[in-house]
Structure 1
């Protein structure tokens, strides 16, 4: 028959998350941050320079819903795991700021998933229809070419769509960068807790 659990062990298990929670937290945080860095700073730049405009736009329209939902899910799970291992009555200022970082990341991810990313994708689809009807969209790169600028002058609807896309794409990019910064700060917080590599 086993004896009572020593007081020190009981206190350690009360205040320190289990190894399973630590691994899950690291898994979700690193998956989210790695995916965000890859999509934002590698895949996006490579595809935008080497694919025709409409091909690039179509790929983004297909991938971004998955990207945004995975980011939102990871952000929510990170906050949940963090909250499970840090009861509110024992939250220090450092833990409180970490909680706020997770909440900001969730808010930015959800805004992207439910609004900015969706509106930008819808605007791209409409822009592609208008541009295809004028024989445009197979040019390499994203810079607006002279034919695209000429199309905006006689077609106010094209100009309005282009402005709507630019606005929502900028807001979506801002939310995405905010998530990258939040996840980077969370990784920095975790790295500071490591006693060894």
Structure 2
């Protein structure tokens, strides 16, 4: 006698994650989302407009490795938890899209952790040494002063560091914004699954 083939709904119910897994998934997603919004749109602007440039740079150099590592860990754990509880034989398009979004978030955050963010921090430290030797760095605000522009024009090494910093900072910012977009889409996906608040 032939065994009945389980329906797609039955398989989905059998693989539904426990409340603990759902809680962990939500915890990792909300942690990374909250950190990203705070660091990117609040703390960075407030510190950048109220602290001396070198103080702001020092705080970022000390803070960003933790920030990038925590984001990478949360992104990896979100991908793992989500993928573990989905049967591949009945993967719907929205679930496959969600896995791709988590994977992109992991890739972007790891790039930032291992490369762009680290190199940017190293360049800032080198720039600060040159600026300090010329009596610069205690100005408040992120905009380059006339003295910084003159130093850039007169010191080829500093000019090269500024150009490289601009490139790597842009790439790091793009990775960070990509992770914010991915986590925003993931939150939208979760909100769409809620039947009630």
Q: Distance in 2 between matches of 1:55 and 1:88?
A: 50
Task: Count residues in correspondence.
Answer: 188
**Secondary structure in 2 aligned to 1:153?**
helix
Tell me if the contact between 2:12 and 2:87 (Cα under 8 Å) persists in the aligned partners.
no
CA RMSD of aligned residues (A): 1.0
Matches for 1:19-34 after TM superposition, within 5 Å = 19-34=19-34
Equivalent in the alignment of 2:96: 96
Partner of 1:78: 78
Residues of 2 paired with 1:87 and 1:48: CA distance? 47
1:134 maps to what in 2? 134
Q: Distance in 1 between matches of 2:149 and 2:11?
A: 67
Q: Match of 1:109?
A: 109
How many angstroms apart in 2 are the aligned matches of 1:81 and 1:153? 52
Could you tell me how far 1:88 is from its partner in structure 2?
Answer: 1.6
Query: 1:68 aligned to 2:68?
Result: yes
Rounded Cα–Cα distance in structure 1 between residues aligned with 2:69 and 2:52: 26
Identify the residue that residue 39 of structure 2 maps to in structure 1.
39
For 1:166 and 1:61, the matched residues in 2 are separated by 16
* Alignment partner, residue 150 of structure 1: 150
Distance in 2 separating the partners of 1:74 and 1:138: 36
| Residue of structure 1 in register with 2:124 after alignment | 124
In structure 1, runs of 5+ residues without a counterpart are 1-9
On the 8 A contact 2:29/2:74 being kept in 1, the answer is yes
TM-aligned CA deviation for residue 87 of structure 1? 2.1
Cα distance change on mapping 1:165 and 1:12 into 2, 3 Å: closer
Q: Could you tell me how far apart the structure 2 residues matched to 1:178 and 1:12 are?
A: 30
Paired residue for 1:49?
49
Q: Structure 2: 5+ residue runs without aligned partners?
A: 1-9
User: How does the TM-score come out when normalised to structure 1?
Assistant: 0.93
Cα deviations across residues 137-195 of structure 1 (Å, max 9, x unaligned)?
A: 00000100000000011100000001111110010000000000000000000000000
Residue 12 of structure 1 deviates from its aligned partner by: 6.5
TM-score by length of structure 2 reads 0.93
